Amino acid sequence: MVRCSNNLVGILNFVVFLLSIPILAGGIWLSQKGSTECERFLDKPVIALGVFLMVVAIAGLIGSCCRVTWLLWTYLFVMFLLILVVFSITVFAFVVTNKGAGETVSGRGYKEYRLGDYSNWLQKRVNDGGNWNKIRSCLAESKVCSKLEAKLIDVPVNNFYNEHLTALQSGCCKPSDQCQFTYISATNWTKTAGTHPNPDCQIWDNAPEKLCFDCESCKAGLLDNVKSAWKKVAIVNIVFLVFLIIVYSVGCCALRNNKRDNGYGHTGYKP
Ligand SMILES: *[C@@H]1O[C@H](CO)[C@@H](O)[C@H](O)[C@H]1NC(C)=O
């Protein structure tokens, strides 16, 4: 039993150590290769996660194999915090991504997106001017709209209406259906005079660097992407959490073994 759980902690931590290598490599790759704002914004958290997992795994490995009790204590304490953090992030991700979905428009192949449908917390993040400027330049760099324009060149209006558009294409590259603008191309529309019920209609601009990038529909389209990404993160987190709890339990067992071997526990006990 003593050998078993100490070896198991060793093996599990070795697995975590191996896992941390591709995470770290991925983060470094992102920071070197990522030339656009969008690719860069994740590199630091990914590198931090990789380094953190690596340090924790090494502490667990040495603590269990070399029977270093204080190291194992520290390791279990950090693991406990990690379990709490991952659990909180998972619950938070589920709560935040609970609300919001694209709305079908009759006679259209695409959905339209309304900012008000998404959770207040997410709305605050995209309504922050500084955040939105970064995301906006990232959208422009990713050429999401110019690619759409190139793909749908010379497509007649009825075919355009039947197109399936992604949330970003629908929200950022074309005016809302409510505006009733006249179609020239996917990203070129003739504005109709008068007031519009939807404030996004006033914001629309045919200039390729403007389009609907400052519309609420564009922010909503982005949140739709964020929402599906977080759903995936939450599911991965649950698997990760189960793994962490198993490692933690086995680690607790190893700590008891260390104490026993060092003569703190039941003296004279031999398995
Ligand atoms: C939109 O179409 C009109 C009419 O064909 C054209 O004159 C104008 O240059 C186009 N605008 C953009 C931004 O492509």
pLDDT exceeding 90 applies to what percent of the chain?
A: 35
What's 189's DSSP letter? E
Residue 70 lies in a domain: yes
Q: 10 pLDDT band (50/70/90 cuts)?
A: confident
130 and 204, same structural domain? yes
Instruction: Write out residues with Cβ below 6 Å of ligand 1.
Output: 184, 188, 206
151 and 175, same structural domain? yes
Measured CA to CA, the distance from residue 174 to residue 181 in angstroms comes to 10
201 and 112, same structural domain? yes
Q: Residue 39: its pLDDT value, please?
A: 61
Q: 194 pLDDT band (50/70/90 cuts)?
A: confident
Domain count, the chain: 2
214 and 172, same structural domain? yes
pLDDT tens readout for residues 249-260: 888 887 887 777
Provide mean pLDDT across the span 179-187. 91
Measured CA to CA, the distance from residue 89 to residue 111 in angstroms comes to 29
Between β-strands 188-190 and 103-104, what pairing exists: parallel, antiparallel or unpaired? unpaired
pTM score > 0.75 for this model?
Answer: yes
Q: Would you say how long the chain is, in residues? A: 271
217 and 127, same structural domain? yes
157 Cα: distance to centroid of ligand 1 (angstroms) = 15
115 and 35, same structural domain? no
Q: Which domain holds residue 185?
A: 103-223
129 and 40, same structural domain? no
Residue 269 lies in a domain: no
Sign of CA dihedral 23, 136, 212, 176: positive
168 Cα: distance to centroid of ligand 1 (angstroms) = 22
Whether 4 has a pLDDT exceeding 80, the answer reads no
Residue 67 lies in a domain: yes
| Most ligand 1 atoms within 8 A of CB, residue of 184, 191, 205 to mutate | 184
197 and 134, same structural domain? yes
Provide mean pLDDT across the span 112-119. 94
197 Cα: distance to centroid of ligand 1 (angstroms) = 25
251 and 150, same structural domain? no
Provide mean pLDDT across the span 237-255. 86
pLDDT-wise least confident of 144-148, 219-223, 231-235: 231-235
